[in-house]
Structure formats: structure tokens, C-alpha cells
Chain A
Amino acid sequence: MSHTAPAPTLKMGLPITNSKLGMWLFLGTEIMFFTAFIGTYIVLRMGSPGWPTDTNVTHIKIFWGGLNTFVLILSSYFVVVSHDALLCKQYKKSWNFMLFTLLLGFVFLGIKGYEYYGKFDHDILPGHIPESAEQAMEKAISTKVGLGAIVDARLTAMYPKQTKREDRKSENDAVTAKLKDKADATAAEKTELAAAEAINELNNEYISLKEHVRAKLSLEVPYANFDAIRKEENSASKYPVLTLEEVEHKIHELNKSKTVGPLMGGMHVSQPILYGNLFASNYFLMTGFHAIHVIVGLFMFALVLKKGSKLCVDDAYLIENIGLYWHFVDLVWIFLFPLLYII
């Protein structure tokens, strides 16, 4: 074939570049992707009377969410400035604003991380949240996150060699018995004894609390009487029922106590949140996928920044497309913020 001078021909299709068209179509698919999440959230929330809205309960921080909105808006603005500067052939300015955008992206993620940290700290996590007083009490004594877990952890720390909980417990009893009778105990041995006794006390408290929770009997009823009560007929209706306040009070006391207090690690009783798990599921899924999109955006910015001084007008298409993507990420947040934080 010959290299004749390119003859003018008809360009079919739209008067925009393939990459821009492709980006817009991609954004269309992204809209559907987030619609699935947001739509799910809206309808699930509508269908769940009693959805938690109190920010004290959900540990939603409107201020930080608002700040993050501002951060994203600012970064969106910087992207357009960067694109504008590039078209005006102010390459240095363009590069700088790209850099600012990247930094703002990091700021956004930082704030998001701080918010997540708060959620983790309060155990506002899907599947972890009690939704009724009973579940809250169960959780307070659970061996995964509650008092049971604390006892286990302390025992394990003290007797790492034994593998079973029962063995650790009997080892603890043995140590207590041995050191108690010892008249000439050294200072080290004395602290060991104190520690062993503290664990023992905590364990007793734990067992008593556990049995109370299981039997649904008020703490006013001493644990020692349980065997007798079990033999009575219709025992349940005769005795007062355990309430969450009692458990809370108990844990509060244990925290204050001189002997076992230090072992408690500041444990507190989680409050029941109706539909808390569903709330947390939605919160983490939506903000999580949004954050992933932010991270992808950061990679794109890095791609542009890598060009350094080689940035030129031809890159306008690249920056424009990256900008489109980034504005979309911003748009998603513009809706997530009111939907999750305010309404």
C-alpha cells in the first residue's frame, strides 16, 4: 500500500475522543454499581423501623464527615484548575495543583481512617453489635469480646505453656495454694500470689455473672443459691430478673476495684443498638468502596505527577479523564455524606 497524502474522510461517531467516551461509559457502569449500594441502603433502612439515627449511638462524626466533604470539593476544584492551567500551557502550575490534589486525597483517607478507628474502638462493627438487652448481656460475658475473653487472655498471659483453659485454671489454683502457705515468700512471689488471686477473683466474678445471665436472674440473687433455685418449680417467676443496668453497674464496679480493676483493661458494656449490625454493614460497605475508589484515584494522580517536567498540552486528555473520574468519586461522597451522616 502506498503512502499517499492522507485524504480527508468522514469521521463517524461523536466529536469526542475515544478515551473520554470510554470514561463516561465507565462512569455509567460505576453509577449503577454505587446505585446498588445506595439503593440497598435506602430500602433496607426504610424497611427497618427503629433504625439508629442518634449520632451518639452510631458514633457518626458529622464534623469530620463535613470536613471530608470540604476536602473532596477542594480537591475536585484543584483538578479542574490543574486541567485549566495545562490548557493555558502553565505546566508548573498544573503539576503543582495535581500534587495538591494527591495530598488532599491522603488527607481524606486520613480522616476516614480516624473515623474508622473510632468505630473499631467502640466495636461498631457488623456482626458485633448487640440488638437487645439480652444480647448485650451475652456479649458482656462472651469469651470472644467480653469478660470471658478478658479472663482467658489474662490466664493465657500468665500460663502460656498450658494449652487448655481448664489446665490454666488448675495451674492458677495450684500456684495460689503453693504460695499462700509459703511463709517466707519473696517479694516476687508475693506479687505473683497477688496476681494469681486477682485472676481467681475475676474468674469467680465472671462465672457468677455468666450464670446470672444464663439464668436471667438478678444479681441480687446470690450465685450460691442457684442450685437450690433450680430445684424449685416455676422458679423463673419468683425471683427478680437481671437487667442490663445491673450488669453495667457490676462491670463498673469491677473496673473500679483495686484488685481486679487493673486486669479489666477498661472494658465496658456495649449498649444495644436496634439494627446496629445492618447499619454498620451499610456504613462500612459504602464508605469502604468509596475509599477504594479514592485510592485508585491517587494512583492515577501519581501517574500524571510522574511525568514531571514532561507534562504538556497533549496530556490534557489524560488529566481531563482522570478529573472526570475524580469528580465522580466526589459526587458519590456528596450523596453518601448526607445519606449516612445527617439523615
Chain B
Amino acid sequence: MSDHAVAHAADAGHEHEEHHSHGQLYFMVFWVLCGFTLMSIGADYLQMANKNILRAIILAVATSKALCVMLYFMHLKFEGAWKYLLLAPTFILAATIPLALVPDVGTHYYTVDVPQRYEYEAQEAAKKAGHAPVKVEHH
């Protein structure tokens, strides 16, 4: 309805007259994304000793992938400044939740009193005492 009218008017000029295909660009982005995916799987196969480095790498790769998708496939690269107004608050809020939860749920100020904790401590103690870690059979 009025949507279309507005749309035609708003987009008149750049999309409707003569559209230049972005096919090439999209194809490139596609390959980059595939490369990133392989990278994250590859990183896992490296069996890195330091888990944190692995995590950092993999999350960095995921973020780059997300950026590629957003910038090119979702056309954010070509949009006006409104994208910042919309996305910046969203991401700030989205980051708030896990960040605010870390001091309370991710870590614990008070002693945690659950069976898992005692189980975990027993396992760690067993590991320290030189027992072979409990072998888990794969069915």
C-alpha cells in the first residue's frame, strides 16, 4: 500500500533505474565465509594446549564471519547512518546481559553447595593424585 509508494520514491534513483549486479561481490564474500568456516574447524583439529587461545581465535573468526554477512549480504555497508542508531544500542544491551550476569551466575561470590561441586572436586583430587582420568567409553 503506501509502503510501496514510499519505497518507490525512496529508492528511486539508485535501485530502479539500471541495476548493476553485485553478483561478483557476493560470490567473493561467499568464498571468504567458507574459508572462515574451515578455519574454525581446522583450529579445533589443531588440539591446542591452551584452550583460551583456541576460544579467542574461534570467536574472532565467528565475529568476522558475522561481519561479512551483515556488511555485504545484509547490505549494511550500503545503508545510511540509521544503522548505527539501531544497532549500537542493540549490541550494547545485548552485551549487558551476559556481562552483568558474569559476577553473579558466571562466577560465585558465595559458596556453591551442590553435588556437582563435590563430584568435581573429587575428580580433580583424583587427577592430582595421579590416578588415570576416568576413562569414558564411546558407544
Contact = CB atoms under 8 A, between A and B. Distances in A.
Is A–B contact present in the complex under a CB 8 A cutoff?
yes
Contacts of B49: none
B10 to A, nearest CB: 5
Interface string A48-60: 1110001011000
A28 B87 CA distance: 7
B84 interface: no
A39 interface: yes
A18 B3 contact: yes
A334 B66 contact: yes
Contacts of B30: 73-74, 77
Interface string A303-343: 00000000001101100100110011011001101110011
A255 interface: no
Contacts of B69: 76, 327, 330-331, 334
Given A17-B6, A19-B3, A43 B26 contact: no
Contacts of A327: 69-70, 73-74
Contact of A88 (B10, B21, B54, B74): B21
A268 interface: yes
A196 B101 CA distance: 58
B10 A77 contact: no
Contact of B34 (A56, A73, A79, A320): A73
B113 interface: no
B115 interface: yes
B66 to A, nearest CB: 5
Q: Kindly name the residue among A31, A73, A275 whose own CB sees the greatest number of chain B CB atoms within 10 A.
A: A73
A289 interface: no
B46 to A, nearest CB: 11
A40 B30 CA distance: 31
B136 A48 contact: no
Contact of A15 (B41, B80, B117): B80
Given A18-B6, A62-B44, A35 B66 contact: no
B15 A316 contact: yes
Contact of A131 (B3, B79, B115): B115
A36 B23 contact: no
A281 to B, nearest CB: 14
B124 to A, nearest CB: 8
A16 B86 CA distance: 13
Q: Kindly name the residue among B2, B93, B101 whose own CB sees the greatest number of chain A CB atoms within 10 A.
A: B101
Nearest to B74: A327
Contacts of A31: 90-91, 94
Interface in A46-93: 46-50, 54, 56-57, 62, 66, 69-70, 73-74, 76-77, 79-81, 84-85, 87-89
Contacts of A275: 116
Nearest to B119: A132
A288 B94 CA distance: 21
Given A32-B94, A337-B62, A338-B58, A268 B139 contact: yes
Interface in B62-82: 62, 65-66, 69-70, 72-75, 79-80, 82
User: Closest 6 interchain pairs by CB?
Assistant: A46-B106, A39-B98, A17-B7, A43-B106, A50-B120, A87-B19
Interface of B: 2-4, 6-7, 9-11, 15-16, 19, 21-23, 26-27, 29-30, 33-34, 37, 40-41, 43-44, 51, 54-55, 58-59, 61-62, 65-66, 69-70, 72-75, 79-80, 82, 86-87, 90-91, 93-94, 97-98, 101-102, 105-108, 115-117, 119-120, 123, 136-139
